[in-house]
Amino acid sequence: MVVTRFAPSPTGYLHIGGLRTALFSWLWAKKNGGTFLLRIEDTDLSRNSDDAMRAILNAFEWVGLSYDGDAFYQSKRFELYKSYIDRLLSEGKAYRCYMSKEELDELREEQMARKERPRYDGRYRDFKGTPPEGVEPVIRIKAPLDGEIRFVDGVKGEIVIASSEVDDFVIARSGGVPTYNFVVAIDDALMGITDVIRGDDHLYNTPKQIVIYNALGFELPRFSHVAMINNEEGKKLSKRDGATDVMEYKTNGFLPEALLNFLVRLGWSNGDQEIFSVEEMISLFDPKNINKSASSYNLDKLLWLNAHYIKNSSDEKLIELLKDFEIDLSADEKSSDILKATKERAKTLIELASQINLILQAPTSYNQKVIKKAFGGEAKEILSRFNVTLQAQKPENIEQFHELLQDFVAQNNIGFGKIGQPLRVALLGDMAGAGLDEIMYILGVDEVTKRIQSAINFIESL
């Protein structure tokens, strides 16, 4: 049985680093037919966990992740934590520390002055006397005084840390509210988590949590610490380069399968394979193949994946997705032709939408840079002649448009560029884009004629 969890603190939104660890945990649970739980780490009561919850749920829903059962809120489990603190206290494994904040600060300053690592000196560890007046005590755990704390990390291998590095840390604040490392250990144990997959930044918390596990006789889960995602410069990811709300990827025209595929390959691999469907990820994922080193966020690769998934999406799906980008082709009988002509030219849904608009909306201006080349020389005469032919023949399908174009070139004894370039600019306003026959078919004879006429008028006005 595998039970994994995702345990975000409510900081507002879910970013890709969080989504990746959530994905890894989710995949591992799914692969093993296990359970994936969600726990909100909201012991800091000043943060609004409702908003965070909604943001996470939105993101989960968009990418298709879901958790089992109800979400756990640590803020609702204080009674439970208190019972374990009491137990530790009565068993003599934890103790009240009456040191004031001022005293603690003083101690730290002295230690720093001596170039020592600031750490609690254990002065109340075996305190038997009368506690000082007016100090609301914190509860500290009795950490081992010597030896070392070791565990086998699922990705890093054996980790050894000297016990002297772990001091008698606070497990309950003076108000009685338990601290992070304590509740994480309690919850992971009580929730039956078998695999803790989390960011590298938690590596140093692990020995502390192990102290709790040991004090309470809980069995250790497997820990897998995933290295961080850096930005393209190899520095810490910031909002500017990817650490944005996952939902912004949706707004920016990314498909969830592209984002998931991108993330799963960041730090994890299965040989040379690059493209993974969610089903494949589930069947192939194993934390033991997670890379030890940090990886860098690479937008080019994400865009490439996104383009791949756009190209391979069904028309129905794209039509649905495009609705968020102000394009509704659901009632357009030529929708499939429109998508065929555009989807290979788009890296994002935004680009796809603009490609479509480029065809569907008559140009309001012509690209300055190509006017001279496309509209110079005999362009005007050729376009007029083409319009006449068009009206005479009135092609009705792509093949007919194609033939008409070919015949026109042959009969007028001109190179294709002579008609192709001005026609393209007349229709789209620019030199690049879908095939002319496709565009003309999509627009229909009359619209094509209209756009050509506009172009002719424009040329005359030059």
Partner RNA sequence: GGCCCCAUCGUCUAGCGGUAAGGAUCCCAGGUUUUCAUCCUGGUUACAGGAGUUCGAAUCUCCUUGGGGUCACCA
Residues 234-263 that bind RNA (CB under 7 A): 234-236
Positions in 12-41 near RNA (CB under 7 A): 41
Q: In this chain, which of 2, 53, 89, 161 binds RNA, going by CB under 7 A? A: 161
Residue 7 to residue 209: CA distance in whole angstroms: 15
Min CB(1)–RNA separation in Å: 25
Query: Which of 146, 272, 326, 460 is close enough to bind RNA by CB under 7 A?
Result: 272
Chain positions 315 to 374 lying near RNA, rule: CB under 7 A, are 344-345
Of the CA atoms within 13 Å of residue 6, those in its CB half-sphere come to 28
The alpha carbon of residue 231 and the mean position of all alpha carbons in its chain are separated, in whole angstroms, by 13
Question: If binding means CB under 7 A, how many residues of this protein chain bind RNA?
Answer: 83
Q: Is 389 in the site for RNA (CB under 7 A)?
A: no
Nearer to RNA, 165 or 245 (CB): 165
Around Cβ 158, how many Cβ atoms within 10 Å?
8
Q: How far is the CB of 438 from RNA (least distance, A)?
A: 7
DSSP class per residue in 395-449: --SHHHHHHHHHHHHHHHT--HHHHHHHHHHHHHSSS-SS-HHHHHHHH-HHHHH
Closest-CA residue to 444 (of 398, 406, 392, 403): 398
Instruction: Give the CA radius of gyration of the chain.
Output: 32
Q: Return the H-helix or E-strand segment holding 3.
A: strand 3-6
Residue 270 CB, nearest approach to RNA (Å):
8
- 247 to each of 96, 319, 325, how far by Cα in Å? 45, 20, 14
Interface with RNA includes 266 (CB under 7 A)?
yes
Structure tokens at 147: 């030896």
In angstroms, how far is CA 67 from the centroid of its own chain? Answer: 17
Residue 133 binds to RNA (criterion: CB under 7 A): no
What is the DSSP-derived secondary structure letter of residue 290? B
227 binds RNA (CB under 7 A): yes
Closer to RNA by Cβ: residue 82 or 173:
173
The contact pattern for RNA, residues 171-190, with x = CB under 7 A and - = no contact, is --xxx-x-xxx---------
Which one, 34 or 427, has the nearer CB to RNA?
A: 427
- Nearest approach in angstroms of CB 410 to RNA is 13
List 58, 100, 389, 453, residue binding RNA (CB under 7 A): 100
- Based on the shown chain and the rule CB under 7 A, indicate whether residue 424 belongs to the binding site for RNA: yes
Q: Enumerate the active-site residues.
A: 239
Cβ–Cβ under 8 Å, residues 157 and 148: no
Residue 304 near RNA by CB under 7 A: yes
Least spacing, CB of residue 36 vs RNA, in Å? 19
Among 434, 443, 456, 459, binds RNA (CB under 7 A): 434
Tokens of 263: 């993330």
The answer to whether residue 159 forms part of the interface with RNA (CB under 7 A) is yes
Q: What is the DSSP letter of 157?
A: E
Smallest distance, RNA to C-beta of residue 462, A: 22
Stretch that binds RNA, among 298-306, 324-332, 372-380, 387-395 (CB under 7 A): 298-306
Q: Specify the 3-state DSSP secondary structure of 173.
A: coil
Does 411 engage in binding with RNA (CB under 7 A)?
Answer: no
- Nearest-5° angle of CA 24, CA 241, CA 9? 50
Part of the chain binding RNA (CB under 7 A), chosen from 211-219, 297-305, 321-329, 384-392: 297-305
* Binding of RNA by 120 (CB under 7 A): yes
Q: Tell me if 230 contacts RNA by CB under 7 A.
A: yes
- Residues 6 or more apart from 383 whose CB is under 8 A from it? 419, 422, 423, 426, 452, 455, 456, 459
Q: How far is the C-alpha of 360 from the C-alpha of 322, rounded, in Å?
A: 14
- Taking residues 59 to 98 in sequence order and writing x for each that binds RNA by CB under 7 A, - otherwise, the string is ----------------------------------------
